[in-house]
Structure formats: structure tokens, C-alpha cells
Amino acid sequence: MRVIMANRYFLGYLGGVERYIASLAGELGRLGVDVVVCAAGSDALVQFEGLAVKTVPSQAQLRAFVNRGADVVHAHLPRNPFSFAAMRAGHKAGMRTVFTPHAFYPDGSALKKLAKAVTDLTMTRHTMKICDTVVNLTPQDQADSIRNGLHREKSVIIPNSVSIRELIELEDKSRDILPPFEQPYVLHVGRFHRVKNIPFLVRAHRRIPDHHLVLIGQDDGELPAVRELVSQLQLEGRVHILERADRALVMAAYMNASAVVLSSRWEGLPTVLLEAMFFGKPFVASDVGGNGWLVERGAPGMIFKLDDEDGYVSSLAAACRIPASALAGGRALVADEFSWEVNARRLLNIYAKSN
């Protein structure tokens, strides 16, 4: 079976969606599936982390690449002309089409919100019409998709997942790495973007004197403002920023943290929370996207209302008291329900059923 994974971005820094694609494609490859990732870029075919990646400079070349043949086109992210073009090409060629929205981010200015609304009434609804299956990550994602024209019978919930095999390997490599931060600390892993709401964590940290705050992630427009806020609040000695870190160091940061924190304005089902659970750490997250659903599934974490500083501070204190037995249960939950070793097979069954 040949599967084309289509997403505008892939090469370079891997965000949550790109890491999803890479991990899923890797596990599908181990199951004997021929997977090629197709992304925007100069015309090239390269290998990246063992995956074949075809980059195309235009939608015309994207359509031509899809038309060369595949059994399944699996496109990612809504409101994305690149993914939409791949879906249409696969649909017109008689291939099976699978779509994973990941999340319908509402964040943005009034003008951007209007543009998203127009796109959802046109491109998004047409995507929902022509795809054979929509893979939703959470019930919230499913509800958002139905609101945007999806017929429920086309939807299956298969959550975002992590590779247990990869994390075990990284755990072994990271065990003796000592992160360059003072302990104890709470950890945030994610890009410095407005949707991540990192200034909230910095401001709230004035009320958390017994822990440092470690922020790991690449700048996506907000890092200068975060640095300025840290300086204004005179928290330079207690808030630590690491813009670049390899995977082993990030895993070591998880392993030595007291808790993982997330204050996003919107999320799908964050990989960072699954990684925290794997490494036996509690999490504290804003009640958006699939965060609350993850706790309902039994994850050892606490949820607080978005931008509620009192709720965040009390939730963090409660999370740090979660017993070791519950934290061990979180690791088991990841292996059972949120691992690619389990969920790639579920997706493969969907591909095969479609064909």
C-alpha cells in the first residue's frame, strides 16, 4: 500500500502536526506501508529521519505528484490550500482520501477570524464533502468538524499519539543528562506563539516561589515580548528560556521536572502532555481542546479555566501532590491508548477498509 501524507510544512523544525506525521509515517513504514510525505518547497525528493519527503513548489506540481499514483491521500490541517489541493487531486483520481484536521484554531484578529469563517464556509466544507474518512483527535475536534460540514458517519476518533519505541530509546540516552536549569522547576515545551499564551505562565510565576519556570521552544513571534516581560517582573533568576534543544535534552528536561504546564488559548491533543505522562510527570493545562478529555481518560493532570491565575496556581500545587502510583498509571495509559504502536494499526485498518 502506498500512502501520500500531505501537509504544507514538514522539513526543518517539527511542530506538533509535523511530529505527528513523522511518527505516524515511521510506524506505518514498520508495518510495511510505503509512505511518502509531500510538502511545499523547491522541487526535490529527500530523506528525513528515514522518511521519503517530496517537496513541490506549486499546487500544479502537487497535483502532478499525486496523479503519479497512490492508494491513499492523507491530508492534514484545515484552512490549508496545499492540503485541500492534495485532497482534490486524490479524489478526482479515484484514490481514497483521509483528512485529519488536528484543531480548528479560533485565535486571531477580527480580520483573521472573518477570513477563517469564509474559508470554513467554502474550502473546509468542500474538504469534508470529498474526503472518505475524517480522523479526529478528540471529541472536541469531532464536534468542530461536524460544525464545519462533516457527516458524523465519516468520522473516527483516533487520538494524537507518541512512539513508545522512540521515547524508550530517548529515555535511555537522556538518563544521564542533567538539564542546565536550577531545580525544582516546572516545564513548558512549545513554540513562542500567541496561541500558547506563555506570558500568562510568566506572570503567574510570581506566585510560585518554590519552583523555577523553564520555557523550551522556538520563537514564533512572541519570544521578544516574553523576554521583556521576564525582565519587567524581575524574574530573570527564576524563569529560564531555552530556544533550541535537541530531543535528548528535551526528554531530560521532562524527566527532571516537577510538572509540565500548558496555558494555551487553544489546542488539539498536545504531544507534550503525552510525553509528560510517559515520563511519569503530572501536568497542568488550560481547559481547551482535548486537554480536559485527556484527564477524563484517566491522565494524571489538572485542568484550569483559561487565564484563571488562581486556578492555575492551585492546580499546580495539587498536581505536585499526585501520588506515584497515579503517575505510573499515566505511562501505562499512553502505551495502551495514545501510542503509535497501537493507533497506527487502527489507521492502517481504515486505509485498508477504504480500499
pLDDT of 125 reads: 94
pLDDT of 13 reads: 61
- Residues lower than pLDDT 70 in the chain: 12-14, 107-108, 354-355
- Nearest CA among 54, 49, 60 for reference residue 4: 54
* Residues 25 and 156 grouped into a single domain: yes
Query: pLDDT digit string (tens) for 6-51?
Result: 999 887 666 788 989 999 999 999 999 999 999 999 999 999 888 9
* Residues 10 and 21 grouped into a single domain: yes
pLDDT of 112 reads: 79
pLDDT of 181 reads: 85
Query: pLDDT digit string (tens) for 83-110?
Result: 999 999 999 999 999 999 998 887 667 7
CB 211 within 8 A of CB 237: no
What is the domain extent for residue 168? 164-337
What is the distance between the alpha carbons of residues 78 and 100, in angstroms, rounded to a whole number?
Answer: 8
Cell numbers given for 95 = 484514490
Name the maximum alpha-carbon separation found in the chain. 60
Number of domains in the chain: 2
* Residues 104 and 170 grouped into a single domain: no
CB 137 within 8 A of CB 100: yes
What SS3 class is residue 342? helix
CB 185 within 8 A of CB 201: no
Cell numbers given for 228 = 521583556
* Residues 118 and 209 grouped into a single domain: no
User: Mean pLDDT score of the chain, rounded to an integer?
Assistant: 94
Model-level pTM?
0.92
Looking at residue 222, which CATH number applies to its domain?
Answer: 3.40.50.2000
pLDDT of 12 reads: 67
* Residues 145 and 173 grouped into a single domain: no
